[in-house]
Amino acid sequence: MSQPGAPSNRSDDALVQVRGLRTVLGGKTIFDGIDLDIPRGKITAIMGPSGTGKTTLLRHITGQLMPDAGSIRVDGADVPTLSRSALFDLREKIGFLFQNSALLTDFDVFENVAFPLRQHLKLPEEIVRNIVLTKLQAVGLRGAAQLMPDELSGGMARRVALARAIIRDPMLILYDEPFVGLDPIALNQVLRLIRTLNETLGITSVLVAHEFAAVARVADLVYLIAGGKLVAQGTPDQLRDDPSPWTRQFFGGEADGPVPFQYPARDYATDLGFAGGAA
């Protein structure tokens, strides 16, 4: 397996390149000099303990949040230095699958998927209809076009959100916790869709997820972030067999390890009011 601090892919094969990323939010260091590459046409998973900055990394890639130091390049463009108009142009090439799908509750399935087209393009209604139905067909839900979000199961809602994310044929899709709340059947459907869409459309995909069993079935490359650092990287098989304490704790579900179970606190006996503190 590659060394934790060094990107495992050649830079010229990377759609997203992160170098020396440093981010401090509310006095807490989220990233402390992270380097990583997201290879073109592959599925890359970003994993780590809760609060380690996985979703924050997605916000950096889309330019919603600027770093305190370092660079984030997407398709050759240095995101923190882009003008407002150039940043909007870049975002139009990126699809985003939100946590819990984030469907518009007053719109039916068809209009949820059509929403990005109506917001950004002036297309004849017949073309909008054909594009939307094509994307719904790709996720197996063309027959559900007239259903409302509250009529959908969790898995169906995630698939509608995926159809919306690919409506403009993006070069990059960012998935923020795509597996949360899915039953085994829906999970299998979503995993198959992610892999199929990535291969047939040539999309580059980035998954933020906690479920290693699901990630291992679909990801080509996994980065493990903890304590502001990149602590492990490799294929799912490499990380599964890696003996480091970080991978053992995170993928083995151990309660204590490099990420402590106890939040830092004063002496326990002192807090309980015992004279003299701990023995």
Which domains does the chain show, CATH number per domain? Answer: 11-242 (3.40.50.300)
pTM greater than 0.85 (yes/no):
no
**What is the residue type of 133?**
L
Q: What is the pLDDT of residues 101-155, one digit of tens each?
A: 888 999 999 999 999 999 888 889 999 999 999 999 988 899 999 999 999 988 8
**What is the residue type of 49?**
P
Among residues 145, 243, 153, the alpha carbon closest in space to that of 189 is found at 153
Distances (CA, A) of 11 to 86, 153, 208, 260: 22, 41, 22, 35
Tell me the C-alpha distance between 82 and 80, whole Å: 6
Q: Where are the beta strands (DSSP E) in 83-147?
A: 94-97
Q: What is the pLDDT of residue 252?
A: 61
3-state secondary structure of 99: coil
Q: What is the pLDDT of residue 199?
A: 87
Instruction: Name the more confident of 257 and 222.
Output: 222
Among residues 111, 28, 29, the alpha carbon closest in space to that of 70 is found at 29
Tell me the C-alpha distance between 187 and 197, whole Å: 15
**What is the residue type of 249?**
Q
| CA-based max dimension of the chain | 79
Task: Determine how β-strand 204-208 pairs with β-strand 172-176.
Answer: parallel
Asked whether 104 and 182 are in contact (CB, 8 A), the reply is: no
**pLDDT confidence tier of residue 213, bands split at 50, 70 and 90:** confident
Give the pLDDT mean for 247-252.
Answer: 66
Q: What is the pLDDT of residues 165-210, one digit of tens each?
A: 989 889 999 998 888 878 888 888 889 888 988 888 889 999 998 8
Among residues 45, 38, 5, 9, the alpha carbon closest in space to that of 211 is found at 45
Q: What is the pLDDT of residue 2?
A: 46
Asked whether 226 and 250 are in contact (CB, 8 A), the reply is: yes
**pLDDT confidence tier of residue 99, bands split at 50, 70 and 90:** confident
Beta sheet of 229-234, edge-to-edge order: 94-97, 172-176, 204-208, 43-47, 221-226, 229-234
Highest mean predicted confidence (pLDDT) among 2-6, 11-15, 62-66, 253-257: 62-66
Give the pLDDT mean for 239-267.
Answer: 64
The DSSP code for 49 is: S
To the nearest whole percent, how much of the chain has pLDDT over 90?
46
**What is the residue type of 17?**
Q
Q: Which residues contact 139 (CB under 8 A, 6 or more apart)?
A: 159, 160, 162, 163, 193
Average pLDDT of every residue of the chain:
85
Tell me the C-alpha distance between 236 and 158, whole Å: 24
List phi, psi (to 5°) of 14: -100, 135
- The yes-or-no verdict on residue 258 having pLDDT over 90 is no
Cα-to-chain-centroid distance, residue 237 = 20
Asked whether 236 and 219 are in contact (CB, 8 A), the reply is: yes
> Concatenated DSSP letters for 203-239?
-EEEEE-S-HHHHHHH-SEEEEEETTEEEEEE-HHHH
